[in-house]
């Protein structure tokens, strides 16, 4: 039998011990103790879904706030009390009288406000409330991140449809927020936990692959790092050199972004070189990073144009490092990140370190856009505008006169035009990118030089909304198209992710009673689950769609051998009884690249064909695209 009293006592004592080692004053330590006493008394009758005493949750959140994020005594107290007002009879006024304005204000911000009618939905209103807290103090957002992190760590006890709702919220809102605030460890764990519950089969597949890969290649990695450690020591550089696997989520995301298989992911691990005695060697951090870069590229060949510097122009979340790719001892490129230990500390604690840098500018921009959205009374598009503008990584592009323009990754020439001026966006006709004529919908890359061609008469097309991601561009286009209401999609199956029988799917009950079905990884589904989780259908039966056919494109890389095309046609048409669409094949230096389209009924068809193709003796690469 579980001794819950002992569990609570151990968790409480661990928190108190952590607080006492943080160098707090006696008054601050007493404040934490008194906050715990109220939380324990208020939550004493309550239990979590797992059966554990509820008080274990606020203790755990307070530990994350204290130990993993590193906030002070008042936020720790607010973490202990964060559910007291929402779930018990205690009030914010009582907390203010007992613990002061600072603790009370933080508790008030993180307490969900119950309403009879929500502006958009309960979830979106909660997001708005949290984001508005940035006007007061960013610590409230950090407490909510700690709360979400512990909820994700204990999500196993929830029902499957609740797991999907909470995991989708995490992937859609909380993980990107942690990334923007520079909390990389929190961001990575949230992404992985969300992936685990949204797509358990794919998660286990990727996680298992990483485990096997690390076991098989750890000796080679150690041998590869040894000369680097030796040359750094010889030069008097105090540095750690370690090889760490990438997260399951980041590898899966890379697979989806590049439409590649697990075996084709090039960088399963990253080599981190972290140095700390640059001052003693009379260098600055940038000089030391470049010096280490020169030393290691003398040992190993560098992949051409692979060096990326985030030393001078760091990301908005304060991330600073130097990246490059070097040839490994197993014939594959090794990705290397070079940073000082102080830079690594910034990656762990993000916005809490070096607030005078880019994060402060990001917070100021956030406040400005929140104010503009409030003035415009935006409803349904609120989260879309916020997320696309502030949660994506940045790229830096340039005007013809060399002025730097910062845009989210994935931004197009339309976003660039509206960033310059609303009138430029409305009148743009084309873009000149690096002296090449391009469509206005062209995605921009880091370092692009962009010139916008305009016409006196506005010519905005409604389709532009599908090709912009910044708030300014969306707002400008909407102002121009405000008399064109959105159409309701008549499809039952999502046209973006194209779910078929055998996929891990999620369904949503639409206002007209229909169910819209998505694959669990579909971005639209994640957004819907994160903003309208109550519309999730507990069960979706895809078997009724097995009579329908869906096009899937295959790309095969093989050595040139006779009758390969005939073999492919035979496998598809005769063995699997599937319909074959377009087929195109090219040969260069005895390497055959074959692209063809197959109409399938379920994932079982895809799996059978993939197994049959990979079993062919001269096939070395296979990709699918829906």
Q: How far is CA 305 from CA 157, 174, 434, in A?
A: 48, 34, 18
Q: Pick from 184, 356, 349, 342: which is nearest to 270 by CA?
A: 184
Q: How far is CA 495 from CA 249, 443, 489, 520, in A?
A: 24, 22, 9, 14
Residues sharing a CB contact under 8 Å with residue 238, sequence separation 6 or more, in sequence order: 275, 276, 277
Residue 572 in 3-state DSSP? Answer: helix
Residues sharing a CB contact under 8 Å with residue 465, sequence separation 6 or more, in sequence order: 474, 477, 478, 481
CA–CA gap between residue 162 and residue 208 (Å, rounded): 26
Report the 10 Å Cβ neighbour count for 135: 14
Catalytic pick among 10, 13, 30, 86: 86
CA–CA gap between residue 343 and residue 285 (Å, rounded): 9
CB 61 within 8 A of CB 147: yes
CB 344 within 8 A of CB 336: no
Q: What is the 3-state secondary structure (H, E, C) of 124-136?
A: HHHHHHHHHHHHC
Runs of H (alpha helix) within 113-258: 122-132, 139-153, 160-169, 175-180, 184-198, 200-234, 248-258
CB 80 within 8 A of CB 59: yes
* Residue 86: active-site member: yes
Q: How far is CA 520 from CA 148, 163, 199, 248, 502, in A?
A: 20, 12, 7, 16, 12
Residues sharing a CB contact under 8 Å with residue 576, sequence separation 6 or more, in sequence order: 605, 608, 609, 612
Q: Pick from 396, 499, 403, 414: which is nearest to 452 by CA?
A: 414
Strands 269-275 and 333-340: parallel
Residues sharing a CB contact under 8 Å with residue 103, sequence separation 6 or more, in sequence order: 31, 35, 74, 77, 78, 81, 95, 96
* Residue 590: active-site member: no
User: In this structure, what are the phi and psi dihedrals at residue 494, rounded to the nearest 5 degrees?
Assistant: -60, 125
Residues sharing a CB contact under 8 Å with residue 96, sequence separation 6 or more, in sequence order: 103, 104
At 110, which helix (H) or strand (E)? Answer: helix 101-110
Report the 10 Å Cβ neighbour count for 233: 11
Catalytic pick among 87, 94, 302, 360: 87
Burial of 129 (0-12, 13-18, 19+ CB in 10 A): middle
Runs of H (alpha helix) within 350-444: 358-376, 382-390, 413-420, 422-427
Residue 467 in 3-state DSSP? Answer: helix
Residues carrying an active site annotation:
86-87
């Amino acid at each position: 039998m579980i001794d819950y009293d002992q569990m609570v006592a151990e968790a409480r004592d661990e928190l108190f011990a952590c607080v006492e080692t943080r160098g707090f004053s006696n008054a601050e330590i007493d404040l934490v103790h008194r906050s715990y006493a109220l939380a324990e008394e208020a939550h004493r009758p309550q239990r979590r879904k797992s059966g554990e005493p509820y008080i274990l949750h606020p203790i755990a959140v307070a530990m994350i706030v204290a130990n993993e994020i590193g906030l002070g005594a008042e936020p720790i107290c607010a973490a202990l009390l964060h559910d007291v007002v929402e779930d018990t009879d205690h009030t914010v006024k009582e907390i203010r009288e007992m613990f002061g304005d600072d603790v009370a204000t933080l508790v008030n911000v993180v307490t969900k406000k119950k309403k009879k009618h929500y502006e958009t939905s309960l979830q979106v209103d909660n997001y708005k409330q949290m984001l508005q807290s940035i006007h007061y103090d960013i610590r409230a957002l950090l407490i909510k991140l700690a709360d979400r992190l512990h909820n994700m760590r204990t999500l196993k006890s929830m029902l499957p449809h609740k797991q999907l709702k909470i995991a989708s919220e995490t992937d859609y809102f909380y993980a990107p927020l942690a990334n923007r605030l520079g909390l990389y460890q929190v961001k990575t764990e949230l992404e992985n936990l969300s992936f685990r519950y949204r797509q358990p089969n794919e998660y286990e597949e990727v996680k298992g692959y990483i485990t096997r890969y690390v076991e098989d290649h750890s000796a080679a990695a150690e041998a590869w790092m040894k000369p680097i450690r030796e040359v750094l020591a010889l030069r008097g550089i105090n540095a750690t050199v370690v090889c760490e696997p990438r997260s399951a989520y980041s590898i899966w995301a890379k697979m989806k972004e590049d439409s590649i298989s697990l075996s084709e992911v090039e960088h399963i691990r990253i080599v981190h070189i972290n140095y700390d005695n640059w001052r003693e060697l009379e260098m600055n951090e940038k000089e030391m990073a470049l010096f280490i870069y020169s030393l290691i590229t003398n040992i190993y060949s560098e992949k051409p144009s692979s060096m990326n510097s985030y030393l001078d122009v760091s990301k908005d979340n304060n991330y600073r490092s130097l990246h490059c790719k070097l040839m490994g001892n197993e014939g594959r490129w090794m990705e290397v990140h070079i940073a000082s230990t102080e830079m690594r500390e910034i990656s762990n604690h993000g916005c809490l370190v070096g607030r005078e840098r880019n994060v402060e500018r990001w917070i100021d921009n956030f406040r400005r856009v929140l104010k503009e959205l409030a003035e415009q009374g935006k409803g349904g598009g609120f989260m879309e505008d916020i997320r696309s503008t502030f949660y994506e990584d940045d790229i830096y592009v340039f005007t013809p006169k060399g002025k730097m323009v910062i845009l989210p990754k994935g931004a197009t020439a339309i976003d660039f035009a509206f960033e310059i001026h609303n009138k430029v966006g409305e009148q743009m006709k084309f873009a000149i990118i690096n002296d090449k004529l391009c469509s206005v919908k062209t995605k921009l890359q880091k370092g692009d030089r962009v010139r916008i061609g305009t016409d006196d008469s506005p010519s905005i097309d409604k389709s532009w909304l599908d090709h912009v991601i910044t708030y300014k561009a969306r707002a400008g286009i909407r102002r121009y198209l405000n008399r064109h209401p959105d159409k309701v999609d008549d499809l039952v199956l999502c046209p973006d992710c194209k779910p078929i029988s055998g996929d891990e799917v999620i369904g949503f009950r639409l206002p007209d009673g229909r169910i819209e079905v998505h694959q669990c990884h579909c971005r639209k589904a994640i957004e819907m689950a994160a903003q309208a989780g109550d519309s999730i259908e507990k069960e979706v039966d895809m078997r009724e769609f097995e009579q329908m056919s869906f096009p899937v494109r295959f790309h095969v890389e093989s050595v040139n051998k006779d009758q390969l095309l005939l073999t492919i046609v035979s496998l598809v048409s005769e063995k699997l009884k599937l319909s074959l669409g377009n087929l195109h094949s090219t040969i260069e230096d005895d390497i055959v690249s074959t692209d063809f389209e197959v109409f399938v009924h379920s994932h079982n068809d895809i799996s059978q064909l993939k197994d049959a193709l990979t079993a062919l003796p001269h096939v070395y690469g296979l990709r699918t695209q829906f």
